[in-house]
Chains A and B, each alone.
Chain A
Amino acid sequence: MVETLIDNFIKEHEADLNTLPKYSGKDFSSDQDVRWCPGCGDYTILKQVQNAMPELGLAKKDIVFISGIGCSSRFPYYMDTFGMHSIHGRAPAIATGLKVSRPDLSVWIITGDGDSLSIGANHFVQLLRRNVNVNLLLFNNQIYGLTKGQYSPASPTGSVTKSTPYGSIDHPFNPLALSLGADGTFVARAMDRDPKHLKEMILRSHQHKGTSMLEIYQNCIVFNDAAFELFTDKKSRPQEAIYLEHGQPLVFGKDKNKGVRLEGFTPEVVELGDNFSKDDLWIHDENDKVKAYILSRFFDQPQTDGEGELRFPRPFGVLYADDRPTYDEGVNAQVEYAKVHHGDADLDVLLRGKETWVVK
């Protein structure tokens, strides 16, 4: 049976998880100066990814970060792991080739709303559909930062930017609905301004087997400042954001006095008190795809500050998580099956083919 250099390499280099060094977040920081703009949301995300790494239970040598192009895609240079800063939009395709050929590695894709929702949108949905066992962190700042301020496929309609002085016409992508539509098996959202929850979501992404799609609301201080302020500002957040927890009712509001209930398939915001109690509310079920899709549509709520109104909050946390066989497992199972069941890998038999003749 064919055993290649890589088969042997993986065996020889298998990390002894009992004797892993006690890593700290700093151990994952490379010697390169971080060059994002002061105040950029990317800093927090970098910090939380670095903080999460020691908790993965993996040797540093087995972790790879792959990015495309854009501000966020400089990320791998700042991580002291293996990394590749590749070309625009293609990180999911590169990661697929890497993970399929090296299932022993923990592969992380760093991408932004431009990188994965426009130029790389095809690879983004194909990755989710195939369910390659990788983690994808989508830094969404609803703007093109590196090219200095054009609208992105995630920018709200009417966005006034350098390329849309009269406001953008495009209808924006809803990244979570798109991911669910592509049959993603792990769909979650976090924000740069809640580091604790962000780190929790990074760890959940790692734990999920299959493609983990974590959208991270990230503030671009230069070209799109305060795009997510409603959700990130401590004053408005309780009102405008809801943190999902599996098995728990959908409760939000400053005094935890609001909730969401389902009338058939129609969600409704209610005030807790005389008419409704927590027992009447929608209980979050991460494994329910239909409900996950309804949650993803809370995105349609206009982002205006209207305190006191009964409006849908923006959900954060894991909307959906499901087990489905991963692509890399399937591909490798076929190769292993062929190695065992399709006869000897005899090169001479292959070269000879079926019909030959001899010239003397």
Chain B
Amino acid sequence: MVKKVNFGRTNFNTHLIQIMSTKDQIREDVTIRFAGDSGDGMQLTGSLFTNTTALLGNDLRTLPEFPAEIRAPQGTVPGVSSFQLQFGSREILTPGDECDALVVMNSAALKANLSLLKKGGTIIANTAGFDKKNLSLAKYPDGVNPLEDGSLSEYEVIKIDVSKLVKEALSDTDLGYKDIERSKNMFVLGLLYWMYNRPLDSTIDFLQQKFGKKKPEIAAANINVLKAGFFYGETVELFNSRVTVKQAELQPGEYRNITGNEALVLGLVAAARKSNMPLFFGSYPITPASDVLHGLAAHKKFGITTFQAEDEIAAVSSAIGASFGGSIGVTSSSGPGIALKGEAIGLAVMLELPLIVLNVQRAGPSTGMPTKTEQADLMQAVYGRNGESPLVVLAPKSPADCFEMAFEAVRISLEHMIPVMFLSDGYIANGSEPWKFPKSDDLAEINVAFEGPRTDEDSATFMPYSRDERLVRKWAIPGTEGIEHRVGGLEKEDGTGNVSYDPDNHQKMTNIRRQKRDNVAFNIPEQTIDQGVTSGDTLVLGWGGTYGSIRTVVHQLRKEGHDVSHAHLRYINPFPKNFEALLKGFDRVIVPEINDGQLVRLIRSEFNIPAIPINKVKGRPFGVAELKEAIESKLAAEIL
């Protein structure tokens, strides 16, 4: 049961959701996709629909997809921006493979997205986007209009001249053409709210907060258009039926909707507060990590300092400088930026200082596909530095999980004086899901102790690289009397920290740094089985953003009687200490990844088992059906 709280100040039409005509059909889950030109506001439309849906108590997952260009050529296929979400009354872990309804604001959007629509699905098309000019921009052959030529006969097509209806809805306002055009997306949103029985309150509240004070006429216009869309659905009865999706049976508690990058920001702030430490964030803007900088910059009152550096190297270097002075040093980027930071991360490994490196992965080498997702930086995280340079690698499994894993990244880095790499990806970062957020009191304290001052009576010289039984050195910060010392990137003698080129010392230090990293395994949870049994025929092993698809597929396979279990790695380097035994309890280990085979190689080389890869690199997450098919084909093969 869901009780609404904080539902917004206005209560417009909330009663509508309780009206269910006989035509209403109840569905367990629905996938819809908004698609339009990158100037059509599809991301905002999708986010608002998501918020409303979350507040109704559905479980959900989202997938925003947009071009890297801010305004790619208008009306063209590369300029199409889309937002997909799946919501339901059951557990929802993926944004859905194929959609039930596809909103297309122009012909390019149809062209780019039609393959993602189920047979028999609904297309809601803005006919104004299918005029001669738009059809030609979308490269339809001369004289061909897919809305008119019968090619969409397998679908339910709802044709609406949104531009015209919006113009009429706003005929008594003084708004200019541009402002009127810009509110088109609200009409569509209103219509979708009608189709799926959603209230308008949360969106009206948003519009009033965003424009109410500065541009009340814009707020009023958008609200009018939103309502116009809703009433249009009610009046015209274009649709076969309205769809109702009941509340999901989530665990009891208070929820909010959250994206991965938002959760990451909150995890860092929470870790700073629970350690009572200042957090210094040095960063350089890069897609899809920039939202972390934006988010943290707004939280200065929590003792957060953000520094937009001149480049990736300065960003990580400034974080190392801050860490030397006793702050939580954090830097963020995506793959290309992480490559630039490599030398400095090696310095932090040598200095043995805390450093958190956030990598929100994107697709491809070099610049690749900045707005598309991939998991291909795992090897870079584990090995991608000169020399033997061991550090800790963690990976969140979902948007909300970014909170806990960011908190863990800070905890481990501070407790072990070691750099930690946090591997998120574009899918997790921009995707969203309901989050049962914790209370501050439920979060563990992180204890930090700096090396204390030494007066003249303490005769022994301070040893900056003396270690405890876990091989962790003390955090000795400037300003502390009697412990003046030097650190650096040159190989050092253990204990004193003095420069040393002694061959045996280098071997010793290499061993120490590796062992120190390995010791982190004693301070992380053991690997659990997400679904299934702890030993048996087949284990599907995943990491990062593939969680939802794997969980959904394994659930289906188990229902069908297969002996398949699912484990999801969140602590990748070092592996949890029970990990090897767990893997060896299965006859077959299948590793699906959005890369060309990286975790699978780590597993094979580390544990000498013939792990089986399933790989895809298309800039998109695994669809449930394609992953199921791929796993089934592996299951059909004989175990070697």
B63 to chain A, nearest CB (A): 21
Chain B residues within an 8 Å CB radius of A153: none
Are B488 and A97 in contact (CB-based, < 8 A)?
no
The answer to whether residues A5 and B276 also contact, given A82-B478, A102-B326, A359-B255 and a CB cut-off of 8 A, is yes
Query: Which among A13, A77, A81, A87 is the interface contact of B481 at CB below 8 angstroms?
Result: A13
Query: Which among A9, A30, A102, A345 is the interface contact of B303 at CB below 8 angstroms?
Result: A345
A35 to chain B, nearest CB (A): 9
Chain B residues within an 8 Å CB radius of A79: 486
A7 to chain B, nearest CB (A): 8
Are B252 and A360 in contact (CB-based, < 8 A)?
yes
Chain A residues within an 8 Å CB radius of B304: 335
Are B321 and A85 in contact (CB-based, < 8 A)?
no
Query: Which among A82, A339, A356 is the interface contact of B300 at CB below 8 angstroms?
Result: A339
Are B266 and A351 in contact (CB-based, < 8 A)?
yes
Are A84 and B487 in contact (CB-based, < 8 A)?
yes
Query: Which among B299, B310, B326 is the interface contact of A123 at CB below 8 angstroms?
Result: B310
Q: Does B261 contact A (CB under 8 A)?
A: no
Output the nearest chain B residue to A344 by Cβ-Cβ distance: B301
Chain A residues within an 8 Å CB radius of B213: none
Within 20-51 of A, Cβ neighbours of B (below 8 Å) are at: 30, 32
Q: Does A2 contact B (CB under 8 A)?
A: yes
Chain B residues within an 8 Å CB radius of A87: 317, 343-344, 347, 489
Query: Which among B202, B275, B329 is the interface contact of A355 at CB below 8 angstroms?
Result: B202
Output the nearest chain A residue to B274 by Cβ-Cβ distance: A347
A78 to chain B, nearest CB (A): 9
Are B55 and A97 in contact (CB-based, < 8 A)?
no
The stretch among A59-67, A254-262, A306-314 that forms the contact with chain B is A59-67
Chain B residues within an 8 Å CB radius of A275: none
Q: Does A90 contact B (CB under 8 A)?
A: yes
Are A352 and B344 in contact (CB-based, < 8 A)?
no
Query: Which among A6, A63, A85, A331 is the interface contact of B488 at CB below 8 angstroms?
Result: A85
Are B3 and A4 in contact (CB-based, < 8 A)?
no
Query: How many of chain A's residues touch chain B, expressed as a range?
Result: 35 or more
Task: Count contacts on B: residues with CB < 8 A to the other chain.
Answer: 88
CA distance A354 to B325 in the complex (A): 35
Q: Does A118 contact B (CB under 8 A)?
A: no
Chain A residues within an 8 Å CB radius of B324: 84, 94, 97-98
CA distance A7 to B490 in the complex (A): 32
Are B301 and A338 in contact (CB-based, < 8 A)?
yes
CA distance A92 to B321 in the complex (A): 10
Output the nearest chain A residue to B202 by Cβ-Cβ distance: A355
The stretch among B109-117, B156-164, B432-440 that forms the contact with chain A is B432-440
Are B302 and A2 in contact (CB-based, < 8 A)?
yes
Are A84 and B351 in contact (CB-based, < 8 A)?
yes
Output the nearest chain B residue to A334 by Cβ-Cβ distance: B300
Q: Does A86 contact B (CB under 8 A)?
A: yes
CA distance A86 to B257 in the complex (A): 43
Are A80 and B484 in contact (CB-based, < 8 A)?
yes
Are B255 and A10 in contact (CB-based, < 8 A)?
no
Q: Does A226 contact B (CB under 8 A)?
A: no
Q: Does B363 contact A (CB under 8 A)?
A: no
Chain B residues within an 8 Å CB radius of A104: 479
The stretch among B65-73, B277-285, B573-581, B620-628 that forms the contact with chain A is B277-285
Q: Does A95 contact B (CB under 8 A)?
A: yes
Query: Which among B256, B273, B280, B483 is the interface contact of A345 at CB below 8 angstroms?
Result: B273
Q: Does A205 contact B (CB under 8 A)?
A: no
Q: Does A348 contact B (CB under 8 A)?
A: yes
Chain B residues within an 8 Å CB radius of A339: 300-301, 303
Output the nearest chain B residue to A8 by Cβ-Cβ distance: B276
CA distance A70 to B30 in the complex (A): 62
The answer to whether residues A97 and B254 also contact, given A13-B479, A84-B351, A345-B273 and a CB cut-off of 8 A, is no
Q: Does B79 contact A (CB under 8 A)?
A: no
Are A81 and B344 in contact (CB-based, < 8 A)?
no
Q: Does B214 contact A (CB under 8 A)?
A: no
The answer to whether residues A347 and B277 also contact, given A9-B479, A338-B300, A356-B6 and a CB cut-off of 8 A, is no
Are A85 and B490 in contact (CB-based, < 8 A)?
yes
* Interface residues as binary, B309-326 with A (CB distance below 8 Å gives 1, 0 otherwise): 111011101111111111
Q: Does B251 contact A (CB under 8 A)?
A: yes
Output the nearest chain B residue to A88 by Cβ-Cβ distance: B343
Q: Does B212 contact A (CB under 8 A)?
A: no
Chain B residues within an 8 Å CB radius of A160: none
Chain A residues within an 8 Å CB radius of B301: 2, 335, 338-339, 342-343, 345
CA distance A14 to B480 in the complex (A): 9
Are B479 and A4 in contact (CB-based, < 8 A)?
no
CA distance A61 to B483 in the complex (A): 8
Q: Does B609 contact A (CB under 8 A)?
A: no
Output the nearest chain A residue to B306 by Cβ-Cβ distance: A331
Output the nearest chain A residue to B282 by Cβ-Cβ distance: A97
Q: Does A353 contact B (CB under 8 A)?
A: yes
Query: Which among A5, A86, A354 is the interface contact of B277 at CB below 8 angstroms?
Result: A5
Chain A residues within an 8 Å CB radius of B299: 350
Within 298-325 of A, Cβ neighbours of B (below 8 Å) are at: none
Within 1-59 of B, Cβ neighbours of A (below 8 Å) are at: 1-8, 51, 54-57
Query: Which among B282, B310, B489 is the interface contact of A122 at CB below 8 angstroms?
Result: B310
Are B280 and A93 in contact (CB-based, < 8 A)?
no
Chain B residues within an 8 Å CB radius of A354: 6
B322 to chain A, nearest CB (A): 4
Q: Does B520 contact A (CB under 8 A)?
A: no
The answer to whether residues A83 and B270 also contact, given A90-B313, A122-B314, A339-B303 and a CB cut-off of 8 A, is no
Chain B residues within an 8 Å CB radius of A85: 486-490
Are A97 and B266 in contact (CB-based, < 8 A)?
no
* Interface residues as binary, B481-515 with A (CB distance below 8 Å gives 1, 0 otherwise): 11111111110000000110000000000000000
Q: Does B387 contact A (CB under 8 A)?
A: no
Q: Does B250 contact A (CB under 8 A)?
A: yes
Chain A residues within an 8 Å CB radius of B255: 356-359
Within 317-339 of B, Cβ neighbours of A (below 8 Å) are at: 317-327, 329
Chain A residues within an 8 Å CB radius of B448: 5
In the complex, the 3 A-B pairs of residues with the closest C-beta atoms, listed nearest first: A97-B321, A85-B488, A97-B318
Q: Enumerate 9 A-B pairs (CB-CB under 8 Å) in ascending A order.
A: A4-B272, A5-B275, A13-B481, A85-B489, A101-B322, A335-B305, A353-B437, A358-B2, A359-B253
Question: Apart from A9-B479, A13-B481, A97-B323, what are 19 other A-B pairs with CB-CB below 8 Å?
Answer: A5-B277, A5-B448, A6-B278, A30-B486, A32-B498, A61-B453, A61-B481, A77-B498, A82-B484, A86-B488, A96-B318, A97-B320, A98-B321, A101-B326, A126-B314, A335-B301, A347-B273, A356-B6, A360-B3
Chain B residues in the interface with A (C-beta under 8 A): 1-8, 51, 54-57, 202, 247, 250-258, 266, 269-270, 272-273, 275-278, 280, 282, 299-305, 307, 309-311, 313-315, 317-327, 329, 343-344, 347, 351, 437-440, 448, 450, 453, 477-490, 498-499
